[in-house]
Amino acid sequence: MASVASVCEVLQQSAPHQLAEEWDNVGLLVGESSRQVKRLMTCLTITPASAAEAVEEGVQMIITHHPLPFQELRRLTTESTPGRLLLQLIEAGVAIYSSHTAFDSSERGINQQLAEGIGLIQVRPLLPAPGGNDLIGTGRVGELDPPLSLDQLASLVSDFLDTPQVQVVGKTDRQVQRAAVACGSGGGLLEEARKAGCDLLVTGEARFHDCLEAEAAGLAIILAGHFASERFALERLALEIAEKLPGVETFASRRESDPLRWVTNSSGNTG
């Protein structure tokens, strides 16, 4: 076993809170620092399914990527989904911790893992963090050697993230040599990717008009889905915590899933 405080210390070392965006809500959000943790679960988001799983599995702590609560709560009741989930977990004595954007931007965070996982080399932050450390910051940019076609890279992204489909903007035969990555909702970094001389941005999701703007500017995009672009790192995080705290049984949620589903038009009628 380990204390909640000990788990927080391990997470703080790998994703310091000061890396989080100002609007974010990170750190220990619910729970007592002195409470002992025997079982711990990681997840991308606390949902009714993952909250029920935590309670049924008897965990004492959840490491969630997306904070709960995320926004300020004026009241804590069962009339809202965040309220119901928080009350359920508080009643069960489950602590909640989130690193969110600190984990996105850290030296070995989600964006670094994603960049390396799809084969980028000479990886560096797309927007370096203040302070002179060139290993941390928002997003990542790197090179492909040799260059790959958009179609080939889309297949690599799909394989690495274990997702059957990705969306692309751009001609599939165009060559990609320099690419940027931004997990989750990274469409807002399209202009930064263009300024960095990138041929492509890999992200989870982007707005329709951002995609049109990128197409007009000659910047390709691979949209892997918000869930897929981040969930893999929470599975890896569970293994990392298990190595650093061998007395704590750690696992990634087995019940959470992408809320978005692809539906094939079996009738063949697209009109």
CATH label of the domain that carries residue 30: 3.40.1390.30
Confidence class of residue 270 from pLDDT cuts 50, 70 and 90?
Answer: low
Query: Same structural domain for residues 93 and 163?
Result: no
247 domain-assigned: no
pLDDT of 271 higher than 70: no
* Residue (of 235, 253, 249) closest to 49 by Cα position: 253
pTM listed for this prediction = 0.93
Q: Go through 78-102 and write b for each residue having 16 or more CB atoms within 10 A of its CB, e for each that does not.
A: eeeeeeebbebbeeeebbbbbbbbb
- Final residue before a domain boundary, out of 65, 99, 133: 99
| Cross-strand bridge partners of residue 202 | 181, 222
Query: Same structural domain for residues 183 and 224?
Result: yes
Query: Same structural domain for residues 115 and 171?
Result: yes
Query: Same structural domain for residues 34 and 50?
Result: yes
Looking at the structure of the chain, the number of domains it has is: 2
The pLDDT of residue 263: 84
pLDDT of 76 higher than 70: yes
Higher pLDDT, 198 or 135: 198
- Average pLDDT (23-30) is 95
Query: Same structural domain for residues 90 and 119?
Result: no
**Rounded-to-integer distance, Cα 239 and Cα 34, Å:** 23
Domain range enclosing 26: 2-99
249 domain-assigned: no
Q: How far is CA 29 from the centre of its chain?
A: 18
214 domain-assigned: yes
Query: Same structural domain for residues 136 and 166?
Result: yes
69 domain-assigned: yes
237 domain-assigned: no
pLDDT of 266 higher than 90: no
Query: Same structural domain for residues 218 and 117?
Result: yes
pLDDT of 39 higher than 90: yes
- Average pLDDT (19-33) is 95
pLDDT of 130 higher than 90: no
pLDDT of 268 higher than 70: no
Query: Same structural domain for residues 189 and 133?
Result: yes
Query: Same structural domain for residues 94 and 111?
Result: no
**Rounded-to-integer distance, Cα 23 and Cα 110, Å:** 19
- Final residue before a domain boundary, out of 211, 228, 245: 228
Residue-wise pLDDT tens digits, 202-211: 999 999 999 9
Query: Same structural domain for residues 62 and 126?
Result: no
Query: Same structural domain for residues 137 and 45?
Result: no
Compute the mean pLDDT over every residue in the chain, rounded to the nearest whole number.
Answer: 95
Q: E-assigned strands of 150-252?
A: 167-169, 175-185, 200-205, 220-223, 249-252
Assigned token pair, 200: 């492509």
pLDDT of 110 higher than 70: yes
- Average pLDDT (173-183) is 98
152 domain-assigned: yes
**Rounded-to-integer distance, Cα 175 and Cα 250, Å:** 41
262 domain-assigned: no
Query: Same structural domain for residues 142 and 93?
Result: no
